[in-house]
Amino acid sequence: MGILKDCINKKKIDSTPVWFMRQAGRYLPEFREIRSKNTDFINLCLNPELSKEITLQPLKRFKIDAAIIFSDILLIPYALGQELKFVKNLGPQLGELNIERIINTSDNEIQNKLNPVYQLINITSKDSTMNNKDLIGFIGATWTLFVYMLNRTSPKKKVDENIFNNPDQKKIFKKIIATQKLHIKNQIDNGASLIQIFDSWAGLLTEDKYEKYIYQPTIELVEYVKSLGVEVICFPRGIKSYKEFCDIVKPSAINIDYETDPKNIADNINIPIQGGMNPAHLLLEEDKMLRSARNYLEIFRNHNYIFNLGHGVVPETNPETIKKLVDFVKGYK
């Protein structure tokens, strides 16, 4: 068991746990080198040996406490038969949604397509680099996957209202959730010690839609992960009330975004907190960057807190900045 799990389980720990979303990515020259030789992003995600190398790259550079698998939330629509490609400067592009094709995709077909991810987790969990570290598996939340599948690209600032009127909505949701559960179980069975649920587009919804599109499906997934004996971290990015989300969904821990007041979170939420710092602050001068980090460490001094960001590491980040930040967090008393 790693320090993240100890923190979430409210056990005594000697330092603040730290890891970063998108810690294995474009800001690392060793990642860029692999990526330059592997231009098809999906094929790279489905190459267990290379994905393992990428997953472990940050742990070999920094004194961080967890690895998050190198994968993508959109591998679920890919496994369901929806065409998926990543276009430079445009991001993910999904093909036409064939409802019957998706609904009738068998569990065997899904597992066969995603098996390289499970191989990645299996071989990574056994690597000596992972000694006393947590290995984080993940899924996209049901709402976020639904938006991508119907919108077929990143939805930007608002969603097409037609999404809410789709006649096959219930069927699609049911199939997404069944596939998410299958993906979660296979990740855990192969060595993932924690699961994080990324609801990247929660902030696009108005509050009257939370119950149907966020709370109900996420409760089902959180309860499922817990039934497998594993803790689950939720990141409903941009949601209006993290407290209400925690009270209703009851995740093991909650990741907050950088637009949320951390003091309000510390005063009102009792479960372990993760994240919050603005990734853009990693581009500031060192003293300003560390001041931002200290602010979160001070606010959550008396809370079970995992240091992370309020979103992923941006590509312009200097790896040396990450090293200084990690050393600062680990030395903070």
Segment 237-259, tens digit of pLDDT: 999 999 999 999 999 999 999 99
pLDDT confidence of residue 276: 98
**CA distances for 229 relative to 4, 144, 222, 313, 324, angstroms:** 15, 25, 11, 30, 35
**CB-based burial of residue 256 (10 Å sphere; 0-12 exposed, 13-18 middle, 19+ buried)?**
buried
Q: Average pLDDT of 63-92?
A: 96
Domain ranges in the chain are 3-331
Q: Average pLDDT of 150-154?
A: 91
User: For residue 249, what are its two tokens?
Assistant: 């969904």
Q: Average pLDDT of 65-74?
A: 98
- Secondary structure class of 4 (helix, strand, coil): helix
Q: Which of 244, 130, 267, 151 is nearest to 200 (CA)?
A: 151
Neighbours of 122 (CB within 10 A): 17
pLDDT confidence of residue 159: 83
**CA distances for 333 relative to 276, 282, 328, angstroms:** 19, 21, 10
Amino acid sitting at position 310: G
Amino acid sitting at position 83: E
Question: Which alpha helices (H) appear in the chain, and where do they start and end?
Answer: 3-8, 29-37, 41-45, 48-61, 75-79, 99-103, 107-125, 142-151, 169-189, 210, 216-227, 242-249, 262-268, 286-299, 319-331
* CA end-to-end span of the chain: 23
pLDDT tens digit sequence for 165-203: 999 999 999 999 999 999 999 999 999 999 999 999 999
pLDDT confidence of residue 1: 67
The pTM assigned to this predicted structure is 0.97
The CATH class for the domain spanning 3-331 reads alpha beta
**CA distances for 277 relative to 22, 72, 143, 170, 288, angstroms:** 14, 22, 25, 36, 12
DSSP state of 96: -
**CB-based burial of residue 158 (10 Å sphere; 0-12 exposed, 13-18 middle, 19+ buried)?**
exposed
Name the percent of the chain lying above pLDDT 70: 100
Q: Average pLDDT of 150-171?
A: 89
Higher-confidence position of 296 and 159: 296
User: For residue 195, what are its two tokens?
Assistant: 């699961």
pLDDT confidence of residue 258: 98
pLDDT tens digit sequence for 2-22: 999 999 999 999 999 999 999
pLDDT confidence of residue 161: 83
